[in-house]
Structure 1
């Protein structure tokens, strides 16, 4: 089944499905707008007046007039000269999403490309041709020029495509797919290069991973609370109604559902002299709720950006005008990426504190380092150190990228957003967070195992069963790495939310 994308009105759930590998096609109704934009470019050229990007140079060279005989060469040259990226190639799923975002933007008819160019991109997507794009080289204004230039270069037969995971020279891959390298028309090179689709694709990939990790951390947080025989009184709805934050209210509600009916939790009420739990348990609604609100705000920004047109100049077919502006400036994406980074950092920070609490017998009441024989066995001692290392790494990465700027293009482009690397760091941060949450899952499951004869809630018992199907209880010390890897797989796959009952957990990107 193929998703039909209505340009300008694509929900985040569709972008997430494309990132996960879903087939997609543009709504045929967009054809008229695309054709009108292309005709407007022809009419503008016929007038003979200089128009940026159509018959002039680019950036600081915008005052240089280009003769009609050189217009095709101009567009090819901009692609080749701007394909100056460096570093490792981006993951195929993110690049596929970038291609879909660019197609949806071009399909709104404001970029002046020809229908056959959009059809060429659709054929690439359908036949599994993913341009190889180096990760580094964009500063997030005048668009993601270098990354998008690598995409455009592959379309004209230069560079490489990923074909079923194999890197293939672009010209060869096009032949295999029965496609002829594209010859760019006026404005088309610039239209393909200019825009925020690389930054936006990276930010969306980070957002999708953040949502999965957030929901998993709610589950492991509830399981840790049970393992420590913590109180659910801090999750009382009356507390959170008084503060009024939506995310906090929803997070507390989810924790109540996750813990409802737990015999371990009920045991807290008998003979427990503790008056209040540590903040890592008691303040979960406040911290996780704030992260939820932040992620939702970023999701709203990215949904708007994904549906917008962000190249330059923009073509207005109804008045036959080309207007130069600054929609390529990715400041909204940079801010959204910084928000996601902060949320990823804090979710992990809180989870690590719960791990540290569980391994400390003075706080948890459990055996030291969650091992039946402390001393002879080290148990979770170094697993907690690993979590601490990953959290500190995320703290270093969470510094806002958007506060940085460096002038480019001989000071013509004198303020840039740094959205590209701000967004690019999110997936590695989400990977770190998945590992932290995985360690908490192992620790919390181990902690609950010590409460012999007492069951957790139905929801958390399903989570424990899912964990134990992959990782047995830790008795004697063993090679720990495979346990963490297996648990991280459960976190990344969404299996924890599924086992607990996904409907009870807040969503960020919709169904």
Structure 2
């Protein structure tokens, strides 16, 4: 039986991921259809009555004072799609495009946009029949351009992938058994307005960052154990006197992962404390998780909002079109800038822990975790990769939303720039996975140098046994890239979390 998300009630981050990444189908509830139809009826009524409505009977942006005749309203909607399809560069990935379609269905489907149900049915069919719009990703200030390229498909213009093959949108629709549609009043504007691409990209990045944060707890526990670290810093009494929830849950995760480690038990009295990259794991990971949790709350609120302009407010005799700016991307932009900073903080600590594992001056391990060093470089250079990735992450952590370049003859004199915040968060989330993967590689190699008379914890031992099925213990230099990629995919897929939770139950 095919898995399906029924739109009409509140949706969550996991729902977007399931549609975008795992190809869940989408359908509309009766409630969804009713509110869309009621909103459309109002628009048609007002057009017949020659009401002045922004973007419906007027031009757009600085042209909002230009009145458009009833006869030209259809042409106006097509023109906005054509004229706004100006983003450039590499296209959205399949999952990014699908996430944006999902968000347009959610945004317009709140019933405040006045779009015909028939338009949304085609968008739904694009998801269900694997029609993926070609959307250049560069050149948006928060909305409009990527959405316009997506909307081109509906009118049979632009390009789209069908079953993975790029072709004209008209051909893609035809192969799937559909025909282009003529847009009616309000519809072109509604399709390009809103924080749909901003929220879609932000949601994808955030989902992976949240997963990586939990993986970071696991990998930090691995590094602590192979470094014969001191568990005292994770004592629940320490957490009680500074009662941040995510700090406490991080310490709980580390204690749970290492609960039966003979290595940790044997070295608990060796020294008073470890370096900050070990000792501060609850504090830094906790602070980062708090930021990611806050971002998730905002993303899910945005997913269940109408971010159109104008909105069609149905209030009986007092119903009206209200021109405002719910299309502003500040909420998502601020959170995704913050999420990128949080991810970079997790990454910078991971790199420092990795550095301690490979530095013979800071550990009891051979230099670069290889016995015959000199002839072999061992794990010297993956730390260089971490340094390069971390440099990029620091650049990408410069906030986007503090930027401002006025547009539209200064009608849009303030611009939130949330799109750039979400777009760069995608890159930040991927780089974090690679940095964590390299630390895990070093922890795995370090485990070979531990005294075998002391047992590793059940979950860490299980991780290493599973890794040995794919990665050899390094005796001499070998091609490292495939193993780093494998470990990165292990983090991205969530399999690393699944391995640990299989042994000790759910982590916090």
Match 1:37 to one of 36, 39, 64: 39
Aligned mate of 2:79, from 77, 80, 98? 77
Listed as ranges, the matches of 1:8-27 within 5 Å are 9-21=10-22, 22-27=24-29
The equivalent of 1:323 in structure 2 is 322
Which residue of structure 2 aligns with residue 281 of structure 1? 278
Q: Tell me the secondary structure at the aligned position of residue 241 of structure 2.
A: helix
Are the equivalent residues in 2 in contact too, given 1:7–1:307 (CA < 8 A)? no
Matched-pair contact (CA < 8 Å) for 1:226–1:264: yes
Relative contact order higher in (CA < 8 Å, ≥ 6 apart): 1
- CA deviation after TM superposition for structure 1 residue 8, in Å: 5.3
Partner of 2:177: 178
1:243 aligns with 2:242: yes
Aligned to 1:107: 109
In structure 1, distance between residues paired with 2:319 and 2:184: 18
**Per the alignment, in what secondary structure is the counterpart of residue 362 of structure 1?**
coil
Q: 2:310 aligns with which of 301, 310, 313?
A: 313
Q: How much has 1:162 moved relative to structure 2? A: 1.6
C-alpha contact (below 8 Å) 2:50/2:70 kept by paired residues:
no
> How far 1:275 sits from its partner (Å)?
2.2
Deviates more, 1:463-472 or 1:233-242: 463-472
Q: 1:235–1:256: 8 Å Cα contact kept in structure 2?
A: yes
Aligned to 2:498: 498
- CA deviation after TM superposition for structure 1 residue 210, in Å: 0.6
**SS of equivalent residue, structure 2 residue 89:** strand
Q: Deviations over 1:260-315 (max 9, x none)?
A: 11111122136x3x321010111100000001100000000000001100011110
2:429 matched residue in structure 1:
430
**SS of equivalent to 1:88:** strand
> What corresponds to 1:2 in structure 2?
3
State the SS of the aligned residue for 1:322: strand
Instruction: Please give the TM-score of this superposition, normalised by the length of structure 1.
Output: 0.96
Q: Kindly state the Cα deviation for residue 476 of structure 1 after the two structures are TM-superposed.
A: 0.9
Query: In structure 1, what is the Cα distance between the partners aligned to 2:485 and 2:121?
Result: 42
Q: Deviations over 1:426-466 (max 9, x none)?
A: 12211111111111111011111111413211011111112
Tell me by how many angstroms 1:133 deviates: 0.6
Q: How does 1:481-496 map to 2 (within 5 A)?
A: 481-496=481-496
Q: Check whether the contact 1:212–1:492 (CA below 8 A) recurs between aligned residues.
A: yes
> How do 1:126-145 residues align onto structure 2 when only pairs under 5 Å count?
126-140=128-142, 144-145=143-144
Residue equivalent to 2:89? 87
Counterpart CA distance in 1 for 2:145 and 2:15 is 26
Establish whether residue 467 from structure 1 lines up as the match of residue 467 from structure 2: yes
CA distance in 2, matches of 1:32, 1:6: 12
CA RMSD of aligned residues (A): 1.3
Query: Structure 2 CA distance, aligned partners of 1:44 and 1:466?
Result: 65
Indicate yes or no: 2:44 matched with 1:47: no
Q: What is the deviation of 1:320?
A: 3.1
* Conserved? CA contact 1:53–1:62, under 8 Å: yes
CA distance in 1, matches of 2:414, 2:4: 37
Equivalent residue runs for 1:170-249 within 5 Å: 170-249=169-248
Cα distance in structure 1, aligned partners of 2:411 and 2:28: 35
For 1:351, what is the secondary structure of its paired residue? helix
1:150 maps to 149
Q: Deviation at 1:24?
A: 2.1
Q: Does 1:293 align with 2:290?
A: yes
Cα offset for 1:29? 2.0
Q: Residue 38 of structure 1 contacts residue 112 of structure 1 at CA under 8 Å; is this kept in 2? A: yes
Shift of 1:405: 1.1
TM-score (norm 2): 0.96
Preserved contact between residue 8 and residue 108 of structure 1 (Cα < 8 Å): no
Query: Would you say the 8 A contact 2:233–2:273 is kept in 1?
Result: no
SS of alignment partner, residue 501 of structure 1 = helix
Task: State how many pairs are aligned.
Answer: 501
Distance apart, 1:212 and its partner CA: 2.0
User: Which runs of 4 or more aligned residues in structure 1 lie more than 4 Å from their structure 2 counterparts after TM superposition?
Assistant: none
Q: For the residues of structure 2 that align with 1:390 and 1:116, how far apart are their CA atoms?
A: 46
Please list, as runs of the form range in 1=range in 2, the aligned pairs for 1:234-273 lying within 5 A after superposition. Answer: 234-269=233-268, 272=270
Q: Is 2:85–2:149's contact at 8 Å kept on the other side of the alignment?
A: yes
Please give the per-residue CA displacement for 1:77-131, whole angstroms capped at 9, x wherever unaligned: 0110001110100111111011011112211211001121122222222211111
Unaligned runs of 5+ in 1: 507-511
Residue 509 of structure 1 corresponds to none
3-state SS of the aligned residue for 1:34?
A: helix
Unaligned runs of 5+ in 2: none
SS of corresponding position for 1:311:
coil
5 Å-filtered alignment, 1:329-478, equals: 329-453=328-452, 454-478=454-478
Contact 2:309–2:323 under 8 Å retained in 1: yes
Distance 2:9 2:412 in 1: 28
Tell me which moved more, 372-381 or 148-157. 372-381
DSSP-derived class of the 2:260 partner: coil
Query: Quick one: distance in 2 between partners of 1:16 and 1:135?
Result: 19
Whole-angstrom CA distance in 1 between matches of 2:32 and 2:494: 35
CA distance in 1, matches of 2:19, 2:239: 36
